[in-house]
């Protein structure tokens, strides 16, 4: 295991696999020239995240006979983000490439498991790779005229006054929130719009179960 100290004084423990994929990332595009070249050749390109708020991911895929034959990527982020995307790119291209439909079924937990685990506070990094792939596949579907297959996340506003969305709740859970008190402290949800509290609690339970069922 490899550990570092977080800003709040707690320790993050990284497995040997995380460390290996961080120092020796697979399928990484390293130069701008490579990125330009691959953008011209790729069948689909996806971008997720924002450099303004932390991690950002860009992913390129090549598809043949409905299989993802190649997956290249760049990321601006931490060791977990780099390791997660590196492992993810391996998972979807190994053994001749994974069927698109099967690749879309990969969960962040699958990436974490192949890395022998990620610190809970860094679990959101595996979600970033998953969402970047979905964006790249949607781009591929659009370019090939398979519009009916495009799947896009619909954002729902939960707190009508503060405009807090279901994605805000999801991100809070991925960042360590586990109860409504913590969610309200982080987002202020339900303080003014009390009619949304029940739905917010249900979504909180849903996302905790989705990503961290193993903690129970």
Annotated catalytic residue, options 71, 78, 125, 196: 125
Beta carbons of 142 and 46 less than 8 angstroms apart: no
Number of Cβ atoms within 10 Å of the Cβ of 83: 29
Q: Confirm whether 78 is a catalytic residue.
A: no
Q: Residue with structure tokens 């990094």?
A: 125
Rounded Cα gap, residues 108 and 95, in angstroms = 20
Annotated catalytic residue, options 53, 71, 78, 196: 53
CA distances from 71 to 5, 9, 26, 141, 163 (A): 32, 36, 10, 16, 36
Beta strands in 107-204 (DSSP E): 157-159, 164-165
Rounded Cα gap, residues 125 and 75, in angstroms = 10
Number of Cβ atoms within 10 Å of the Cβ of 203: 22
Q: Confirm whether 125 is a catalytic residue.
A: yes
- Name the residue among 211, 208, 176, 175 with its Cα closest to residue 53: 175
Rounded Cα gap, residues 193 and 209, in angstroms = 25
Q: Which residues have a catalytic role annotated?
A: 53, 125
């Amino acid at each position: 295991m490899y550990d570092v100290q977080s800003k709040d004084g707690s320790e993050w423990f990284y497995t040997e696999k995380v460390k290996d994929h961080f120092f020796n990332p697979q399928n990484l595009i390293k130069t701008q020239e490579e990125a330009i070249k691959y953008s011209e050749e790729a069948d689909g390109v996806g971008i997720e995240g924002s450099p303004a708020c932390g991690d950002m991911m860009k992913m390129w895929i090549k598809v043949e006979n409905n299989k993802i034959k190649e997956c290249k990527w760049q990321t601006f982020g931490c060791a977990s983000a780099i390791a997660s995307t590196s492992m993810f790119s391996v998972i979807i291209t190994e053994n001749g490439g994974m069927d698109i439909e099967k690749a879309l079924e990969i969960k962040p937990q699958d990436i974490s498991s192949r890395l022998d685990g990620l610190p809970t506070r860094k679990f959101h990094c595996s979600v970033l790779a998953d969402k970047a792939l979905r964006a790249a596949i949607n781009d591929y579907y659009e370019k090939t005229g398979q519009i009916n297959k495009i799947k896009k996340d619909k954002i729902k506003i939960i707190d009508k006054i503060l405009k807090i969305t279901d994605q805000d709740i999801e991100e809070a859970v991925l960042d360590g929130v586990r109860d409504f008190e913590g969610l309200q402290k982080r987002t202020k949800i339900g303080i003014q719009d009390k009619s949304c509290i029940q739905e917010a609690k249900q979504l909180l339970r849903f996302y905790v179960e989705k990503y961290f069922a193993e903690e129970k």
